[in-house]
């Protein structure tokens, strides 16, 4: 363990093996930092934050501040960060609101400089959140989602797995998995072909997704009718089944957001 003499680490913090705390960093009581983490310099880790092993927290990041939510009354909540994440300069992440609530970051994610993760967000594994992205409260990012720089994501939005959101977008509705979206507001522009290739999705399965895209976004069918056509006419693949189920949840949700309270 290597703690710089200018760092302030509360005796009630739980630090794992081979943790490095750099100059002028503050670690409060009740924080848990896993083995092999590097924190700071000038980072602030607040009470209720749990950081998994081998995560790198860079200059000026502030993790575990209370939620920016008028409903929050000081109840104990957490920010839980998995292993192997890269949290770059001046990233902010807030704890949850609601008794025993959690804001959760999975494993192997990269959060670039100045990005913000709001209260009660649920971030999966291996996502990329580019510079100055702002995620509102209760946002869900599924595994391998990619959010371009300076994008704002409305509260309760779900961004589907292996999707890509173009930079400087305004995301107010759920982003279907496997797609690329961009704009203010966002529009679905196509299938995330290269991302699917990187994840090893076979050519023939990508071709089925392209057919589904045309039915959904290049025809005059509404969502519920398009889902029925896709299930009836296209070959069943794991991606097609997941896409259809995701879209059905959106259709049954509120304001284009499957998790938004009515």
Q: Please report how the helices 238-252 and 223-233 are oriented relative to each other, as an axis angle in degrees rounded to 10.
A: 160
Give me 62's structure tokens. Answer: 């502030």
Contact 245, 158 (CB under 8 A): no
pLDDT in tens, the chain (262 residues): 999 999 999 999 999 999 999 999 999 999 999 999 999 999 999 999 999 999 999 999 999 999 999 999 999 999 999 999 999 999 999 999 999 999 999 999 999 999 999 999 999 999 999 999 999 999 999 999 999 999 999 999 999 999 999 999 999 999 999 999 999 999 999 999 999 999 999 999 999 999 999 999 999 999 999 999 999 999 999 999 999 999 999 999 999 999 999 8
Task: For domain 197-252, give the CATH number.
Answer: 1.20.1180.10
pTM, two decimal places = 0.97
Domains 2-190 and 197-252 share a fold: no
| Strands 179-183 and 186-191, bridge-based pairing | antiparallel
With H, G, I as helix, E, B as strand and everything else as coil, classify residue 61. Answer: coil
Domain boundaries, the chain: 2-190, 197-252
User: What would be the CATH architecture of the domain defined by 2-190?
Assistant: 3 Solenoid (2.160)
With H, G, I as helix, E, B as strand and everything else as coil, classify residue 158. Answer: strand
């Amino acid at each position: 363990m290597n703690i710089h003499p200018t760092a302030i680490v509360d005796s009630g913090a739980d630090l794992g093996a081979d943790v490095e705390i750099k100059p002028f960093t503050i670690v409060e009581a009740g924080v848990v930092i896993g083995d092999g983490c590097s924190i700071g310099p000038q980072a602030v880790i607040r009470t209720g934050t749990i950081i998994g092993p081998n995560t790198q927290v860079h200059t000026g990041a502030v993790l575990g501040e209370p939620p920016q939510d008028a409903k929050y009354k000081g109840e104990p909540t957490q920010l839980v960060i998995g292993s192997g994440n890269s949290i770059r300069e001046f990233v902010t992440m807030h704890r949850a609101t609601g008794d025993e609530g959690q804001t959760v970051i999975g494993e192997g994610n990269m959060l670039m400089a100045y990005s913000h993760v709001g209260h009660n967000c649920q971030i999966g594994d291996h996502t990329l959140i580019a510079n100055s992205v702002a995620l509102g409260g209760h946002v869900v990012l599924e595994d391998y989602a990619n959010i371009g720089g300076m994008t704002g994501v409305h509260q309760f939005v779900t961004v589907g797995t292996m999707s890509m959101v173009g930079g400087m977008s305004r995301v107010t509705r759920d982003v279907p998995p496997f797609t690329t979206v961009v704009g203010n507001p966002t529009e679905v522009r196509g299938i995330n072909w290269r991302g699917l290739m990187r994840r090893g999705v076979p050519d023939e399965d990508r071709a089925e997704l392209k057919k589904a895209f045309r039915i959904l976004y290049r025809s005059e069918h509404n969502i519920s009718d398009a889902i029925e056509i896709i299930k009836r006419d296209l070959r069943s693949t794991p991606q097609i089944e997941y896409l259809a189920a995701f879209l059905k949840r959106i259709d049954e949700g509120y304001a284009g957001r499957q998790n938004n309270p009515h």
